[in-house]
Structure 1
Amino acid sequence: MGRIFEVRKHTMFARWDRMAKQFTRIGKEIAIAVKNGGPDPENNPALRRCYQNAKGVNMPKDRVEAAIKRAMGKDKTDYEEVVYEGYAPHGIAVMVETATDNTTRTVANVRMHFNKLGGSFGNSGSVAFMFNRIGEFKIKNEGQNLEDLELELIDFGLEEIGEDSEGNIIIRASFTEFGNMAKALEEKGLNVITAELKRIPANTVELNEEQAKEVLELVDRLEQDDDVQQVFHNLR
């Protein structure tokens, strides 16, 4: 019984840690969105996207509003978005998106994670060419016909449409059409759960279980870093 309790407690703390990380990431996205486009979501598409993503991870509305107020205050933190590149063990390409108020600290930490876990920190452009930047939208499946939806969205930059393992509709658009697609989905009244910019590998690499474990250990270490927003890789 005690063992079961310990397992449950560990799972609960892991879930809390993951939630806290998600809230921190969205808080930084809000700060950047407010800095670039102001505090009114009606006139700031990036901030509207933050609202959608906050809802997708069950971030309370009062925490979102508090983050907006902080971003407008005189003691606000100015975050800079910086992307780092490198290789995980066994030649797996990795891209690390960060939002930081101290690039010296961030680059040192990211380099340390790569070096400690058998990877190699790369120069700008060393792996970026292996990834395509796209906009990905997760839509609540409310019985829409995917073929009809595909025809409706093809003129707004649609590249792919399908379903995830939970039955939600996944829509992908080119990076340059992200804003047009977001506007189209909004005007059609579709229930957007999340809207994110992602880096999708052009080709993936398959490893055995032990090798993949080494790669994912580095990915996990990077994702736990407070300055890291997202990590992308080409492991299959």
Structure 2
Amino acid sequence: MSGHSKWATIKRAKGKTDAARANVFTKIGRELAVAVKAGGPDPNNNAKLRDVISKAKAANMPNDNITRSIKKASGELGSINYDSITYEGYGVGGVAVIVETLTDNKNRTAGDVRHIFDKCGGSMGTTGCVSYLFETRGVLAVEKKPTDDDDEMMMLALDCGADDFNVEDGMYEILTTPADFSSVRESLESKGVVFVKSEIEKIPSNYITVDDAAMPKLQRMLDMFDENDDVQNVYHNADLPEEEEEE
């Protein structure tokens, strides 16, 4: 998993401004709404909802916000339908980009995504043009405490069904298959493990180095996607310097 910018991303997420954090909560609120609509408002009977609640807690979303989002989704506002649409394309320097969205207006979102690609020197491609360069994995990140034993944590993770484990920069990263993600997460939670990241994401199989001249355009594109309400997740295979991730 060398080169995966997970560690800097986690640090940046933990240091988000209030405005950025509110944006994250809005996006998670949509995921909660979709999960409730698909399987009902009771997390005991809705595995997908349990997954999103875990993600929300890892992002430090207050319990009141989570409860309110679930009630809202199961009430009168539950009539709002969000479509899950994934776009693929290229950033500057041939960087592969996947943009996952939840939208109540497909035309608006498609136009916005295309505009961001074009404005930042990239281009929107067809479905499947870059997805083969990524692997879908469950990612659980745990902050390492001074008293933690690396071998013990690794054995715990593997015993709970994880299929890979990394230690780096004061963090444990536990990887699962998408199918095993929920069971591994719940098993670790039952052992008292607390996550700073808990989600299924796409990890690139290799990375592209972007030259310094092109980096500002790429960073601007990623920021514009991040700020768009309809965009839930953005994945790319650029080997970003850590300082770029932490800004």
TM bucket, shorter chain: 0.7 to 0.9
Contact 1:100 1:106 in 2 (8 A): yes
Q: CA deviation at 1:106?
A: 0.7
The equivalent of 1:177 in structure 2 is 180
In the alignment, the residues of structure 2 paired with residue 90 and residue 45 of structure 1 have an alpha-carbon distance, to the nearest angstrom, of 40
The equivalent of 1:161 in structure 2 is 165
Larger Rg: 1
Unaligned runs of 5+ in 2: 1-15, 240-247
In the alignment, the residues of structure 1 paired with residue 148 and residue 39 of structure 2 have an alpha-carbon distance, to the nearest angstrom, of 33
Q: CA deviation at 1:112?
A: 1.0
Contact 1:157 1:174 in 2 (8 A): no
In the alignment, the residues of structure 1 paired with residue 138 and residue 144 of structure 2 have an alpha-carbon distance, to the nearest angstrom, of 18
Q: CA deviation at 1:156?
A: 4.9
Q: Structure 1, residues 41-73: CA drift from partner, whole Å, max 9, x if none?
A: 222222223222222333222111111111011
Contact 1:212 1:235 in 2 (8 A): no
Q: CA deviation at 1:157?
A: 4.5
Contact 1:26 1:54 in 2 (8 A): yes
In the alignment, the residues of structure 1 paired with residue 65 and residue 21 of structure 2 have an alpha-carbon distance, to the nearest angstrom, of 13
RMSD: 1.9
Alignment size in residue pairs: 222
* Residue of structure 1 aligned with 2:91, choices 63, 71, 88: 88
Q: TM (normalized to structure 2)?
A: 0.83
In the alignment, the residues of structure 2 paired with residue 95 and residue 217 of structure 1 have an alpha-carbon distance, to the nearest angstrom, of 16
Unaligned runs of 5+ in 1: 1-13
Partner amino acid for 1:15? T
Q: TM (normalized to structure 1)?
A: 0.86
Contact 2:34 2:82 in 1 (8 A): yes
Q: Does 1:101 align with 2:109?
A: no
Q: CA deviation at 1:155?
A: 5.4
Secondary structure at 2:214 match in 1: helix
Over the matched positions of the two proteins, sequence identity in percent amounts to 35
> Which of the pair has the greater relative contact order for Cα pairs under 8 Å at 6+ separation?
2
Q: Does 1:148 align with 2:131?
A: no
Q: Does 1:129 align with 2:132?
A: yes
Q: CA deviation at 1:36?
A: 1.6
Partner amino acid for 2:141? K
Q: CA deviation at 1:217?
A: 1.3
In the alignment, the residues of structure 1 paired with residue 151 and residue 72 of structure 2 have an alpha-carbon distance, to the nearest angstrom, of 43
Q: Structure 1, residues 192-212: CA drift from partner, whole Å, max 9, x if none?
A: 333111111000011222222
In the alignment, the residues of structure 2 paired with residue 213 and residue 174 of structure 1 have an alpha-carbon distance, to the nearest angstrom, of 34
* Residue of structure 2 aligned with 1:19, choices 13, 18, 21: 21
Secondary structure at 2:76 match in 1: coil
